Amino acid sequence: LLEEGIEAFKLMRDSGWTTYISALTAGTSYRFSFSTSSSLWQSTTTKTFIDGRFDRTFALYDVNRDSNDNITTSGGTLDADTKKLTVSVSWLKQGATTTRAISTYVTNLFDN
């Protein structure tokens, strides 16, 4: 489910960075919604469960670069064409919530 989340996000990016990615608020938890009418993944804030059990969310974070164009965690200049993506999956088991997460960087690959 984590890997599928990364791939779903990449499909959103490929369909239009400006339309599907740059409009999202950094640090906000979103979920994926598949539109059967357009055959596209989209973001939503509506809570949905996969197989009635798994809650998958994703969040984007701004990326800054230093003077050498390296990603930096402090200072630097905002790179509007790069985001850090974290996908998380949570589920309840024996009264406790388990969460797993994966992170990667995504770029405005097609400048769209």
Residue with tokens 């509506």: 46
Report pLDDT digits (tens) over 26-60.
999 999 999 888 889 999 999 989 999 999 999 99
Quote the pLDDT of residue 37.
80
3-state secondary structure of 62: strand
Quote the pLDDT of residue 38.
80
For residue 82, how many other CB atoms are within 10 A of its CB? Answer: 15
Instruction: Give the angle 5-111-7 at the CA atoms, nearest 5°.
Output: 10
pLDDT at 103 over 90: yes
Average pLDDT over the chain reads 96
Quote the pLDDT of residue 22.
94
Return d(Cα 53, Cα 63) in angstroms, integer. Answer: 32
Report pLDDT digits (tens) over 11-31.
999 999 999 999 999 999 999
